[in-house]
A = this chain, B = another copy of it.
Amino acid sequence: MRAKRVPEDERREQILGAAFRVAGREGIGGLTVRSVAAEAGVSHALVLFHFGRKERLIHELLDWVIARTTVLHISEDIARFPHALDRLHALLQQEMTRLSRQPQHTRLFLEYWALGARHEEIRTRISAELERYRAAFREIMEELLLLEPAALAGGTADGLAAVAVSWIQGCAVQAMVDPAHFDTDEYLASVRAMISRVGT
By DSSP majority rule, is chain A's interface helix, strand, loop, or mixed? Answer: helix
Contact A166 B170 (CB under 8 A): yes
Q: Which of A8-16, A36-44, A107-115 contacts B (4 or more CB under 8 A)?
A: A107-115
The answer, yes or no, to whether A79 is at the interface (CB within 8 Å) is no
| Contact A159/B187 with A166-B167, A166-B170 known, Cβ cut-off 8 Å | yes
Sample 18 A-B pairs with CB under 8 A, ordered by A number. Answer: A26-B118, A27-B114, A29-B29, A110-B110, A110-B113, A111-B114, A127-B178, A153-B193, A153-B196, A155-B193, A158-B183, A159-B186, A159-B187, A159-B189, A160-B194, A163-B194, A166-B170, A169-B173
The answer, yes or no, to whether A126 is at the interface (CB within 8 Å) is yes
| Contact A162/B190 with A114-B111, A169-B170 known, Cβ cut-off 8 Å | yes
Contacts of A186 in B (CB 8 A): 156, 158-159, 162
In angstroms, how far is the closest chain B Cβ from the Cβ of A167?
Answer: 6
- The size of the chain A interface, using a CB distance under 8 A, is 54
The answer, yes or no, to whether A136 is at the interface (CB within 8 Å) is no
In angstroms, how far is the closest chain B Cβ from the Cβ of A107?
Answer: 5
Contact A177 B114 (CB under 8 A): no
Identical subunits present: 2
Among A113, A117, A152, chain B packs the most CB atoms within 10 A around the CB of A117
The answer, yes or no, to whether A45 is at the interface (CB within 8 Å) is no
| Contact A177/B111 with A170-B170, A186-B156, A190-B156 known, Cβ cut-off 8 Å | no
The answer, yes or no, to whether A74 is at the interface (CB within 8 Å) is no
In angstroms, how far is the closest chain B Cβ from the Cβ of A5?
Answer: 36
